[in-house]
Structure 1
């Protein structure tokens, strides 16, 4: 089995807007999604030279890159537009299944942070990157 990303499955739902998770498809050629490293510790050096540390919670940032003609762009456009209308935020939930590793991840309480209004136009239309922030992303049973 290979570790290709081509068979990754991303499902997203938005409470009170898309209550049934939607299959996200039409990813950018070289960039399906990315997540930032999650800081889980905070440290402080005392004046006497002793280091102290503690666990802290931080959100997980994720960017999802879609081709300009992705059918899933309509999902994100509808989500962003609905928030403009209600002037409030919807919360999302989702799962990622990575066939190459046989692992699944559950994403809870997510927010759409940024959404490009249209693709950049170069020789060809460029991918659009939608940024989400999750309360938790944790391994889930397959």
Structure 2
């Protein structure tokens, strides 16, 4: 007794569609209110200068940094090997800190949330949906000042 021939399971030969890039975010020229967020390891001691440099860069390009929020990853016995990893691959921040940023951005009616860390496109989309305003990285090419 012979079984019927199964359909070929090779992938189709259609070309895969290219991912649609996120539109670039341009900082408004006239004093946009910005929440500046940084994620740093507890081992990094110069986080204040990184935040000050980012605030100065935003101010020079017409932004107004209203609030600075820092997420520091603490050093513990078990967490030392995970220091370079974000709390969440979706939001970069811990859940509580992401809610805090969203609440502060709503309270001050910020125009954008700017991260000092690079964000993936998935993180950018997730954070933008969570905050209800553009979430971009100051180190990202999509954050075009010129």
TM, length-normalised to structure 2: 0.28
Instruction: Specify which structure has the higher proportion of helix.
Output: 2
Instruction: Specify which structure has the higher proportion of strand.
Output: 1
